[in-house]
Amino acid sequence: MTYRWRLHHLLLAPHRLAFLMAAVMLGTCALWWAGLLLARALQWPTSPVVPAPLIHALVMSLAYMPLFFCGFLYTAGPKWLKLPAVSARSLLPALATLMTGWAVAWIGMHWQLQIAALGMGLVAVGWAALSLRFAHMVWCSRVSDKTHTALVSVACLMGVGVMFGLAVSLARNSTPLLRTGIQMGIWWFLAPVFAVASHRMVPFFSASLIERLDAWRPNWVLTVMLGALLFEGVVSVADLWWWPQPQALRWLEFGVEAPLAVLMLGLAARWGFIQSLKIRLLAMLHGGFVWLGMALGLNAVSHALMATSGDIASLGLAPLHAMAMGYMGCTMYAMVTRISSGHGGRKESADNMVWWLYWVLQAAVMLRVSAAMVDAYSQTLTLAAVAAWCVAMVGWAVRYGYWFGTPRPDGRDG
């Protein structure tokens, strides 16, 4: 058997095709942002038609994470729903439309808004096809418990609405609408999918690998997690349209977020965070989940500062980066690593290379969160953060991108 990289190997399984596309987008986004920050530090002129921070927020959230979702849902989803496996070839038209849309949108955001809107419209069409197909699978399944798959389906359909809304905001050149769409995409689409996956997978993996732990995951925990994300989305959107806010509302936000942060950190402990440190792949997954509690805690501190200063003092973008880079980024890294190993015919473990890159990723999160809170060294810390992010994600993408284009070493299909 030849182990050379071949394009047709991507069609052997849904996760191969979707993850490879996601890896390409992830690496491209990381290198683009690093280049833009370096140009800014060197005072080289850059003039995209959409403000660079908004392009960054859009592509670093919605450009690659939905592609990872697709690979995960169409690989694990049929097994959860007890349905026939989905062929990668059948997903190719929708994925090609989505990738073409991002290429067009990227060019348009640097050149012409109507082109950007057209590209975002293609992205929305591609994602709509994938989301509606998965929703139909959930509907047709006869398994008794479809709680997790149904919630993921609802979140993905929310993503469809967000993407069409972003296309409209680009066509209208409306910065407030674009900012609103990005926040809705993060809190009401991406984060809920991660929360549902965490609720289903973290306790399951922990119980299967650590003695004396059980797969404790009552549905009220999931309800609280999703409620917390819904609340954070409302708060984030409200901040865009109503500023400054009354002190009483800021204290209300603190009063909701502080106990939620404690609950999420307690949940991490209940699911075996300390015990997981002995098993690398499990520690990576738990390390991502801890950032959810940290993000909520940072939001609570930030809103307390705003309440006492009349919205003048805050932690800035620290809570958002703890959420996006810390929780979603690290969880994505761990889950995709596990799926790529297990479904690629390899041992489900993190070797030295992956383990080292994971800690570079954690350093990137810490540096970026710190940059948002330390004005004096903000640019230096941000550049260090994006450099670490590029090393972690580009190295990881190249490593697993090679796997996706080669046959399984055990000789099995998939």
> Over the stretch 139-151, which tens digit does the pLDDT of each residue have?
999 999 999 999 9
Least trusted range by pLDDT, from 4-13, 338-347, 382-391:
338-347
Amino acid 211: pLDDT: 65
Mean per-residue pLDDT for 381-386?
96
Other CB atoms within a 10 A radius of the CB of residue 218 amount to 9
What's the pTM?
Answer: 0.94
pLDDT digit string (tens) for 90-108?
999 999 999 999 999 999 9
pLDDT at 386 over 80: yes
pLDDT at 118 over 90: yes
pLDDT at 212 over 70: no
Q: Quote the crossing angle between the two packed helices 147-171 and 191-209, to the nearest 10°.
A: 150
Q: Quote the crossing angle between the two packed helices 280-309 and 352-373, to the nearest 10°.
A: 0
Q: Of 339, 233, 221, nearest to 271 (Cα)?
A: 221
Please, how many CA atoms are within 13 Å of residue 14, restricted to the half-sphere of its CB? 23
Looking at domain 7-404, its CATH class is mainly alpha
pLDDT at 344 over 70: no
